[in-house]
Amino acid sequence: MAPRHRAAFPSGSGPSSQRARASHPPDTPGRRGGDPGCPGSPPTPVPVSRLDFDAFRTPSFSAGDWRLSVFIQAQEQFFKLFGGDASKSNQAVDFKITHICFSEEDPDAALIRTSLNFKLGSDFSASGEVTFRFDVRDLSLSVQDQSGLALKRKVVATPGWAKDLAVVSKPDDYLFTEKLDLLGLEMTALRLKLQGLPHQPDEIEILQLKIEGGRFLLTLPEGCIVVLRYTGLGNDALTFLVTRLAIGPGGIDLNAKLLSTALRVKGLKKPFVLEHADLRIRSGRLEYLSIAASGSLPKLLNDAPVNVVISFVQDKESNRIELDEISCALGDKDQPIYSRGTRFKFEIAALDIRYARETPNSDRHFFFEVSGSAQFTPDEGSSTTGCWRI
Question: Is residue 9 a part of any domain in this protein?
Answer: no
Q: Say whether pLDDT at 235 is over 90.
A: no
Identify the CA nearest to 310 among candidates 387, 249, 232, 380: 232
Residues 185, 288 within the same domain: yes
- State how beta strands 225-230 and 262-263 pair: unpaired
Whether residue 358 is found in the same domain as residue 218: yes
> What pLDDT, on a 0 to 100 scale, did the predictor assign at position 278?
78
Per-residue model confidence as pLDDT tens digits over 16-40: 554 444 444 555 554 445 555 566 6
> Which percentage of the chain shows pLDDT scores above 70?
72
Q: Do residue 82 and residue 213 come from a single domain? A: no
CA 230 from centre of chain: 20
Same domain for 246 and 141: no
Amino acid at site 263: L
**Res 20: pLDDT:** 46
Whether residues 110 and 221 fall in one domain: no
Of the residues 109, 124, 149, which one is the last residue of a structural domain?
149
Q: 375: which residues sit within 8 A by CB, 6+ positions away?
A: 344, 345, 347
Q: Which residue, among 325, 224, 308, 229, has the nearest Cα to 273 in the 3D structure? A: 308
What is the reported pLDDT for 266? 75
Same domain, 227 and 370: yes
The residue with greater pLDDT, 70 or 111, is: 111
Least confident of 66-75, 203-212, 245-254, 324-333: 66-75
Give the model's confidence band at 86: pLDDT under 50 very low, under 70 low, under 90 confident, else very high: very low
Report yes or no on 349 lying in a domain: yes
Q: Both 138 and 209 in a single domain?
A: no
Residue 194's contacts (CB-CB under 8 Å, 6 or more residues apart) are 200, 201
Q: Which of 241, 221, 217, 227 has the alpha carbon at shortest distance from 152?
A: 221
Q: How far is CA 157 from CA 193, 197, 202, 220, in A?
A: 13, 18, 11, 21
- Predicted confidence at residue 349, as pLDDT, reads 72
Q: What is the pLDDT of residues 148-186, one digit of tens each?
A: 676 788 999 999 888 887 788 888 899 999 998 888 899
Lowest mean pLDDT among 60-64, 246-250, 336-340, 371-375: 60-64
* Number of other residues whose CB lies within 10 A of the CB of residue 276: 10
Considering the domain architecture, whether residues 383 and 243 belong to the same structural domain is answered as: yes
Q: Which of 106, 134, 149 is the last residue of a domain?
A: 149
pLDDT higher than 70, residue 382: no
Weakest mean pLDDT among 85-89, 100-104, 167-171, 222-226: 85-89
3-state secondary structure of 163: helix
Q: Is residue 331 part of a domain?
A: yes
Q: Are residues 93 and 197 in the same domain?
A: no
Range with the poorest average pLDDT among 16-25, 60-69, 216-225, 317-326: 16-25
Q: Is residue 375 part of a domain?
A: yes
CA atoms of 43 and 359, how far apart (whole Å) = 102
Residues 144 and 278 in one domain: no
**pLDDT tens column, 236-259:** 888 899 999 888 777 788 899 888
Indicate yes or no: pTM above 0.75: no
Beta strand pairing call for 174-177 and 152-156: antiparallel
Which structural domain, as residue segments, surrounds residue 290? 152-388
| Stretch (H or E) spanning 368 | strand 364-376
Tally of domains within the chain: 2
Q: Note the pLDDT tens digit of each residue in 220-232.
A: 888 999 999 988 8
Picking from 97, 117, 149, the residue at the C-terminal end of a domain is 149
Residues 82, 193 within the same domain: no
| pLDDT on residue 22 | 47
CA 72 – CA 97 distance, rounded (Å): 10
Residue 364 lies in a domain: yes
Task: Say if 16 falls within a structural domain.
Answer: no
Of 364, 366, 306, nearest to 337 by C-alpha is 306
Asked whether the CA dihedral 63, 65, 66, 67 is positive or negative, the reply is: positive
Q: What is the percent of the chain with per-residue pLDDT over 90, rounded to a whole number?
A: 8
Q: What is the pLDDT of residue 65?
A: 60
Q: d(Cα 211, Cα 223) in Å, to the nearest integer?
A: 19
Domain identity same for 244 and 113 = no
* Residue 361 domain flag: yes
Within-domain flag for 269: yes
* Most confident stretch, 269-278, 339-348, 373-382: 269-278
